[in-house]
Structure 1
Amino acid sequence: MPVPTARAIVDCAVYVDGARLKGRFTHESALAEVRERGTGFVWVGLHDPDETQLADIAHTFGLHQLAVETASHKHHRPKLERYDDVLVLVLRTVSYVEHELHSVSEIVETGEIIVFTGPDFVVAVRHGEHSKLTEVRRALEHDPSQLALGPGAVLHAIADRVVDSYIEVTELIENDIDEMEEEVFTPRSAVTIESIYQLKREVVELRRAVNPLAVPLQMLSHKPDLPVPKEVRRYLRDVAEHHTTVAERINDFDDALSALISAALAKIGVQQNTDMRKISAWVAIAAVPTMVAGIYGMNFEHMPELHWTYGYPVVIGIVLLICLGLLISLRHHHWL
C-alpha cells in the first residue's frame, strides 16, 4: 500500500513578501494558494521520499521526469541542471563522526540534498539523517528581507549551510591530522599505519563530496541567463569563495597524510632495524659459548684440556669474559 506523501514532508509553507502565511498547507493547497494570489512561493521540505511520493510531488509542481530520477537515486555527484525555468541543484552533505584517534571506523558520513527551484516554489529533498534544514528555514524566517528575494534566496541559504558544514568538518579533520603528526614524530610512540590509511580514505571521500560542487556554484554566481536574482548571485559568489577555500584545504590534507604515511613507514623501518640490530647483537654474544661447546663436543680422544683439573672453570671464565667484552662493546656502540 503506497505511503501518503505527507509522511515524507518535513515542512510545507507559503511565503509572501518574506513572511510565512499562517495555517497548515498540503503541497497541493500551498501551490494553489500561491498561484491564486499571484505572488509569493511555496517551500516544501522532504526527507527520504520513495518513488511514489516523488511522483506525486513532481505531478503537482510539474517537475521533469529526469529531474525526479535524480532525486530518487542516491549518491549523485554535485551538479546543476536546468529544465526550462526550473533549476535542480544536487549537493552532497557531510558529517563528522566522533571517534578514537586510532579507530579504523567511519569518520566522515555523507548524505545528499536535491533542491528544485521554480518561479514560485522550492522543493528540497534530503537523503541522510544529518544536515537538517530546519535551522536554515528558521534563520530565513527571521530575515524577511532575504526571504522576500524568492526561491533563489532559499537556494543560496541551503548551499551556504552545506558549505559551512564542509568548513566545520575540515576543521575537525585538521585536528585529527595534527594529533597524528604529533604522534608520528614523537620518539618511541606507537605508530598505527591503519588509522592513517583510514583517515586518508575518509579525506578522499570528503573530496569526492566537496570538490565537484565548484562548477555548479560558479554557474549559479556568474551566469546571468539562469533564473537567479542578481542580488542572490552576489551572495552565491561568497559561497563559491568559501567552497574554494575548503577544497584547497582538503587537497592539503591529502598531501599531508601522504607525507605522514611516508614518515610513519620510515619510522617503522628504523624501529625494525633497531630490533634487528639488537637481535644480531645477542646472537653474536650467544655465538661464543656455542662455538666453545661445539669444539668440546667433537669427542676427540686427545684434547689436552680434558684431563686438566682447572680446564673447565678456565674455559667457562674465558667464555664469560669474551661475552662480557662483547656486551660492553655493543652497548658502547648503542647496539643494545
Structure 2
Amino acid sequence: MIIDAALYDDGRRVQGEPDLAEMVERGRDNPDAFVWVGLFEPEDAEFEEIARVFELHPLAVEDAVKAHQRPKLERYGDSIFLVMKTVGFEQAQDDELHIGEIMVFLGDGFIVTVRHGSFTGLSDIRQRLEDEPRMLRTGAGAVLHSVADRVVDAYEVVLDDLAPDVQDIERQVFAPGRHDLAERLYHAKREVQTIRRAVAPLGDVSSQLAGREPPLHVDPALRPYMRDVHDHVLRSHERLTVLDDLLSDALATNVAQIGLRQNEDMRKISAWVGIVAVPTMVAGIYGMNFEHMPELEWRYGYFVALGLMVAIAFGLYRAFKRTGWL
C-alpha cells in the first residue's frame, strides 16, 4: 500500500498536490523539486501504476514486489535500485530477531521507497527531513542517505543488544560446573550469521555510494554523509566478525569440555567397577556351594572374607583417588 506520496520543492513539501502523474511531471521539470513515494509490501497490481509512472525497470519491479533479495546497488537506465536488509529484535516475542527489507528507486526527480517486514518504518525520517529542509534541498539523494543511515544505525543497536549475550555465554563456558550451552550457542551463532548476511554485502554497496563518482542523482555534497554510512557498515561488520569468532571459539571449547567430562565420567565408572569387582569375585567364589572348599569350617572365615573384601576395596579406592580417577 502507498503510505505517503509528496512533492518537495526547494527542500519543502508542496501541499495540495493533485495526483501522482502531475507530481512526477513537476518534479522532472523543476531541478529543485522531486517526488518521494513510500510503499509498504505492495501487491503486483498496486505497484503496476507506480512502475508505469516512474518508468521503472521490470526486473527491479519484480525484486521490489517479491522481496527476499540480497543487499545490492544496480543501475537500470537512468535510475538506480538499492536493496538493504533491516534487522531488529522483537521484544514482545522473546527477543526474536526479525529481518526486513527496504528497496529504493532513485531517478530523475523522484525516489520510491518500498518496505517489507517489521522494523522498516520511515515516517520519522520523513518528518525529520521535512523539519530540516537544508538536507532536502540537495535532492532525492538526501532521502537515500537518510534511509541508508537509519538501516545501518539499526545494525549497531542490534549488536549492542547481542554483545552482552555473547559475553555471558563466553563466561558460562569457562565457569566451573556443568552448563548445557549447546542450544544457546547455536541460537546466538545463527543470529550472528543472519545479521552478517545482511551487513557483509552492504560493504560494497556503501563503498559505491561513498565513491569518488557518486551514483546517479546523488548530489556530490552528500559524499561525506555517504562516507559516514560506509564507515558504520565497516564497523558493524568488524563487530560481527569478532562476535562470530568468539562464538566459534566458545562452541569448540564447549565441545571439548563435553568430551573431557565424558572421559572423566568413564574413568569414575571404571574405577567403581574395579572396586566392586573384587568383593563380587570373592563372594562369587564362596557362593558356588562346593562341598570341599578351604576355610568353610573355619570359625573366623566369614569375618576374614568380609575384612579382605573391605580392605581390597578401600585400597583400590585410595589408589584411584590418588590417580585422579575419583
Please report the TM-score for the alignment, with normalisation by the length of structure 1: 0.89
- Equivalent residue number for residue 288 of structure 2: 298
Query: Residue 66 of structure 1 aligns to which amino acid in structure 2?
Result: L
Tell me what 1:311 maps to. Answer: 301
* Structure-1 separation of matches of 2:69 and 2:54: 22
1:139 aligns with 2:128: yes
**Quick check: 1:95–1:131 contact (8 Å CA) kept in 2?**
no
Name 2:151's counterpart in structure 1: 162
Q: How far 1:279 sits from its partner (Å)?
A: 1.1
* 2:170–2:246 contact (8 Å) kept in structure 1: no
User: Deviations 1:297-335 (Å, cap 9, x if unpaired)?
Assistant: 333322121112221122112212222333344334443
Say whether residues 1:80 and 2:73 are aligned partners. Answer: yes
- Which residue identity lines up with residue 77 of structure 2 in the other structure? D
Q: Indicate conservation of the 8 Å contact 1:183/1:191, yes or no.
A: no
Q: Which residue does the alignment assign to 2:108?
A: 119
What residue identity is the alignment partner of 1:127?
Answer: H
Shift of 1:130: 1.6
Superposition map of 1:193-212 within 5 A: 193-212=182-201
Contact 2:32 2:139 in 1 (8 A): no
Distance in 2, Cα, partners of 1:30 & 1:107:
41
Give the alignment of 1:258-277 within 5 angstroms: 258-277=248-267
Cα distance in structure 2, aligned partners of 1:295 and 1:73: 80
From 78, 81, 84, the equivalent of 1:91 is: 84
Taking a change above 3 Å as real, the CA distance of residues 167 and 184 of structure 1, as seen in their structure-2 partners, is same
Cα distance in 2, alignment partners of residues 257 and 143 from structure 1: 43
Match of 1:285 in 2: 275
SS in 1 for 2:83: strand
CA distance in 1, matches of 2:132, 2:24: 22
Query: Structure 1 residue 236 and structure 2 residue 229: aligned?
Result: no
TM-aligned CA deviation for residue 31 of structure 1: 2.8
Q: Offset at 1:24?
A: 6.8
Distance 1:218 1:131 in 2: 22
> Which deviates further from its counterpart, 321-330 or 196-205?
321-330
**Equivalent residue number for residue 3 of structure 1:** none
How much does 1:33 deviate? 5.0
8 Å contact 1:13–1:25 — kept in the other structure?
Answer: no
| CA distance, structure 1, for counterparts of residue 212 and residue 46 of structure 2 | 33
**Corresponding residue number in structure 2 for 1:14:** 7
Identity of aligned residues (%): 46
Q: 2:174 aligns with which of 158, 178, 185?
A: 185
What is the DSSP-based 3-state SS (H/G/I as helix, E as strand, rest coil) of the residue aligned with 1:222? coil
Deviation at 1:201, TM superposition (A): 2.2
Aligned residues: 325
The 5 A counterparts of 1:1-40 are 8-23=1-16, 26-32=19-25, 34=27, 39-40=32-33
> Per-residue deviation at 1:196?
1.1
Q: What's the TM-score once normalised by structure 2's chain length? A: 0.92
Inter-partner Cα distance in structure 1 for 2:212 and 2:273: 75
Shift in Å, 1:253: 2.0
C-alpha separation between the residues in 2 aligned to 1:241 and 1:116?
23
Letter in 1 for 2:133: P
Separation in 1, partners of 2:70, 2:275: 64
Structure 2 partner of 1:254? 244
Structure 1: which 5+ runs fail to align?
1-7
- Unaligned segments of structure 2, at least 5 residues: none
Q: Distance in 1 between matches of 2:229 and 2:170?
A: 31
Residue pair 1:207, 1:250 contacting (<8 A) in 2 also: yes
Give the aligned residue type for 2:33.
G
Distance in structure 2 (CA, Å) of the matches to 1:155 and 1:225: 12
Q: Is the 8 A contact 1:107 1:199 kept in 2?
A: no
